[in-house]
Structure 1
Amino acid sequence: MIRARLSAFNNSLHNKLFFSYAVVIVIPLLILGGILYMTTIGLTQRQTQENRLLEMKVLSQNLQEYFNSLELYSRAIYTGEIQQLLNRGLPEDMIEQTRWKTSLFQQFAEWYGYMGVKGEIHNVTIVMPDGTMIQRDPLYIDESFADQSWYTQTLALQGEVRVAGPFKRSYYLPPSAASPYTFSLVRKINNTTGSAALGGLVVDVSVMDIYRMLGGLELKDVLILNADNEIVYSSAVEQIGQRWEDGSKIGANFSGWMDIGGERMFVGSAYSDVTGWRFVTLDPLSSIQSNSIRYRDITFGIGAFALVVALVISTFVSRRITRPLRSLQQKMKKVQAGDFNIQLDVASSDEVGQLTRSFNRMTEEIHTLVHHVYKSELARKEAQLKALHSQINPHFLYNTLDSMNAIAVIEEVPLLSRMAKMLSEMFRYSISSGEQIVPLREELKQVVRYVEIQQIRYDDKFSLVVNIPEGLLDYRIPKLTLQPIVENAIYHGLEMIPGEGRISIVGRETDDCTILEVSDNGKGIPPEELADIQGRLRQRGAPSSVEHIGLANVQERLELHYGADCGISVVSEPGQGTTVAYRLPRAGASSVAVP
C-alpha cells in the first residue's frame, strides 16, 4: 500500500513540484525559527543576568548605607560620657542603677539623633564582663548573650562590627512586628580611658526594618541568606528566619542553571563583605522562555501564513505547467493504442507549446503514413511500416527531451533536468548511425549515464567504481557491450539486496589478451542457473531464462567481431555477488571478423 502510494507520488510531476516548493519554503522557516528561538533565549538570559547584577548592586549599596548608619550608632560607646559610665560600673543601689541606666541610654538617644541614623533601633543591650545584660527596654526573658557563640566570636574581633542573626527572641510582651525575628549588630566595647574590660554592645534591629527598606526596590524572587543559610530577607515574610536547604548548593558568586524545588531556574548570587550575607536571585526557566516562545510563535505564525500562500501559488503554477503535459500524456496513450487521428490545442508558445506542436505534426504524419500504408498492398505493408519507422527523425526525441530539460531547469526541478539530459545523451549514443566500434572511454560514458539515471530512480542505492588504466581508454570495442551487463547487475543482482550495492569495472592487460571485469556485490546466481548460463555461453546458445538474453547477445557480438577465442565468462557466489569477465585481443592486435 505504502509502496504503491510512493510510486504514484514519484510518477507525478505535479507532486514533485509541489513537494519541492514546500521543502524550499519550510526548511528556511524552521531554521530561522530555531535560530531566533535560541538567540532570544541566550539574549534573555544575558539581559536577566545583567539586570540581576544591577539589582544586587543596588541592594548591596542600600544595605551598605543602612549598616554604615548602624555602625555609626554603635560608636556611641566611645564617647567620653558612656566610657565614664561603663568604667564606673553598674551601681549596687537600685535608685543609682536607674539613674545610671537612664544616663547611659540617654547618651545613646542623643547620639542617635546627632548622627541621623536611618534605621529604627529595636533594642540596645550592654553585656557586662560578668554576663549581666543591661537592656534599654526590658523586652527579652531568659536571654543570655554572653554564652552565645556569635557573641564570644565577636569579642575576639577586638572591636570590629559583626552582624548576627536572624534571631527569634523570647519577649515579655507580644511583639508588634509582623515577624518575630531580629538581627543584631555586635561589637566589643574597647576601653579608651582605662584598662578594665567593659563587655560588649548588642544593637537589635527588627528584620521588618530591612523588609520595609527593601520593599521600595520591588525585588522579585530575591533571597538574602546568612552564613548558616537562614533567610534574612524574602518577599514572602513567612520565610524569614527559616533555613533554606538549597542554599548550600549555591556559592558566594555563582551564576547558572539549577533545579530548585523541582523547577528549573537561573540562579545568581553575590557576597557582601560588610554583613557576610549572600544575595540570591531566582528566575524560573518559564519566565526566561516567555519572550522567546512569543517571538518563536510569531515567526512560525508568519511562516505558516507565508507557507499557505506560497503553496497555493505553487499549486497554481505547477498545475499550469503539468496540465498540458498530462493532456499530452493521455493523448500519447491513445496514439500508443493505435489512434493516430489526434490533435491538441496549442495554448502557449513556450517549450510545452513547442512540444505540443511537435506532437501534432508527428501524429499527423503518422496518421497520413498509416492511412497510406493501409491503402497500399498487403504484401508491402510490413516493409512500408519499417520504412515509416526509419523515417521518424530521432532528433524529435532529442528535441523533446531537451525541451523537458529546459522546462525542468526553468521550474527548478534539477532531478528531472538531470534525467532528461542523461536520457537524451543515451539515445544519441545508442541511435546514432555512426561507427559501431567505439573507444572504451565512450562506452564507459554510456555506462555512467545509465547508472546515474538508475541512481536517481533507486535513490542512490548503489555506486559505480571504474578503474581502467589510461592506456586502455582508447581501446576500441563494439558499441553497447558493457551497458547490458551493468543493467543485468542492477536488475538481477542489486535491486533486492537490503544494503548498499556496488558495481565495479576493472581493466588490465595480460601477455596475450585484454581483460575487462564487471563485478557486483549482489545476491549472486544459484549454482544450477549459473551452470546453465556457462554451458550455453560455451555452446553459443541462448540461456534458458529470458533474464540473461543480454549475456548471449554480447557473447555473440564479441565472437563475430573478434573471433571464437574472445567472449565473456561468468563467475558468481550466492550472497557474495557476480563477476562477468571480457576476454579481448591485446591493444594493437588486429581483430578477426567472423562472417
Structure 2
Amino acid sequence: MLASLIITNTRTADFVANDTVRQNSSLLYQGKTNLANYFQSFFQTSLAPYSDTTLYRTLETGRSDYLVDNQIFVSLQLMSSSVKEIYQVYLHSGRAERGYLFSRGQYKRTDQIVTAPGTTLPADISYTIKPLHMSSSYGINSTPLILSRPVITLIRPVYQIPSSKQMGTLALDITTEVIDSICAQLYSAGGGEEVFLLAHDGTIIYGPGQYGKGLKLKEPWAEPILKLASAGESGNVELKDSHSKSVFIYESLEAGDHDWVLVKRIPPSVLHGATRQITQANTWVLLGSLLLVTLTALFVSFWITRPIKQLTGYVNQIQSGRLETDIHLRQSDEIGQLARRFRMMMETINNLVLREYRLELANKTNQLKALQAQVHPHFLYNALQSIGTTALQRGVPDLYKLIMQLGKMMRYSMNTAEEFVSISQEIDHTRSYLELQRHRFGDKLTYEIAGDPDAQQASVPRMIIQPVVENIFKHAFDPAGGMVHVSISTTLKDNWITIEIADNGPGMNEGKLASVRQRISRDGEIGDESGSHIGLANVAARLRLHSGGRARMELESGAAPLGGLMVALVIPAAD
C-alpha cells in the first residue's frame, strides 16, 4: 500500500504540475488577448488622420495659419480624449514643417523642419510601439513645461493615399495604468509567481516591484525566452533562474516592427504546492482507510460467520431426519439467498416424497381393486370366447363382435402391469367402449376420432380418455329421445400433447362449470369421484401426479363447433 501511495503521489505530482501549467497558459493567453484588445483602441486612434478629413487635407496641403492651428487643436483633443490613458499626442506636418503637441489640455505648436528625434521610422514600417520610457516634449519647449511620466509610445507615419509619400508623423504617449492592471491579474504576488511584459530587447514594460520599469531585464532566463518568442509563438519551458528551476510560460504580443513578450514565472513552490497538499490528504485518507478496512473486516467476519453457523444448524437438523425443518434467515446477501435456495430445495424434496407416496398409494389402491375384480380372469376370457364362438356358429356375427369388444376392454382394464400406455392404445380402448355404446343406442350415437400421427406413440397414464367419454353418457345424453355426437382429437405442438374430448350436449352453466373446475383443480388424495368409475377429478389428479404438476385439465362449455362441453387434457410430451 505504501508503494501504491508513492506511485500515486508521483503520478499526481505530474498531473498537478501539468494541470497548473495548462491553467496558467490559458490565463496568460487571456491576458495577452486583453492587452491586444486594449492596444487595438490605440491603433484605431492612430488612424484618425485618415478618418478626419479636415486633418488629412491640412496635412496634404501643408497649410499653416491660425485657422489650421485651431483645426489641428480640435483633432488632437479628440484623439487624446478617445482613450483615457493617452497622456499626450504629438503631430508633425512635414509639408508645413510644424510640430503640434497636446497634453492634458495644454496645446503647443512650433516650427519644426523635421519630425522630433525618435519618431522617425524606416519606410517599410507602418507603426511601432516604443518600450517604456519617460515622456518628452518632442522638441516643443515653450512654456508651460509638461511633466515627464513613464509612458509607452505608439508612432505611426501618415502617408498620402494612395501614394507612399509621407505627409507627417503621429505619436501617442500612453500611460501604463491599464497595462499594469491587466498584468497584475495574471499572478498571485504573494505566492512567488512573477509576470513580465518585455519588449524585444528585454526592456521591462511591466514587472514586479523589485524590477525597474524601463530598464533591461538581467535575469539569466530572459535571453532564452526572448529567443523562443521571437518567432511569434507561445509555449512553456523549464529554465534555471537565480534560485532554482522554474517553469516559464510565454506569449508573443504584436507591437509593430517587433513583438513584445508576456512571461509568467512559476516557481517550484507554487508548481508542487498543490501536490504536497494532495500528498498530505492522501496520507490521511490512507490511515483512515486502514482503520475503516480493519473495522469492516471485523464486522463482515461476524456478519458472515453468524448466518453460516445458523445454516449449519439447520442442515444438522435435516440430517437427523427432520425434513420439515423451517429454514429461515433474514439475510439479504448471498448467505440469505443460499438459505432460501436450500429451503426451496427441501420443499421440493418434501413435495417429491409426498408425490411418490401418493402415487404408491394410488397404485396399491388400483391394484387392490383390480385384484378384487379379477375373479378367475382366464375363466371369464374362456367363457366369453366360448359364447362368442357359439354366437358365430348360430349365425349372429354382431353378437360375436360385441363379445370380442367387451373382452378386449376387460383385458385392457385388468392389465395392471403397465402403468403407462401409448395414446393409440388409449384410443383403441375408447373406440371399443364407443362401439359397445353404439350397439346399445343405435343411430342416436355418432362419433369421430382424429389423431396427429406424431402424437400416437406418446406415453400417457392408463385410463385417461375413456372415463371422460363415459362422463358424456352420464351427464350429456338423454337416451329417451336425444342424440349425441362425440369428437376425440389429439395434437402435438411445441412439445405439448393436447387431447380434446367434445360433445354436442347441453354443456354446463357458469356456476356448475366453476364448481367442477374447482373440484378437478384440488391437489388432494386420489379417490373415487363417481362411485363405480374413475371420474374427472381422478383423471386430473393422476395427470398432475405423473407429470410433476405440469399437466392440466381444461373445461369449456359451449365450445365450437359442437356447442357442448369440451374437455382438454394438456400433457408434456416428454412425460
Quickly name the TM-score band, shorter chain normalised.
0.3 to 0.5
- Give the structure with the larger strand fraction: 2
Q: Which has the higher helix share?
A: 1
TM-score normalised by length of structure 2: 0.41
Output the TM-score relative to the length of structure 1: 0.40
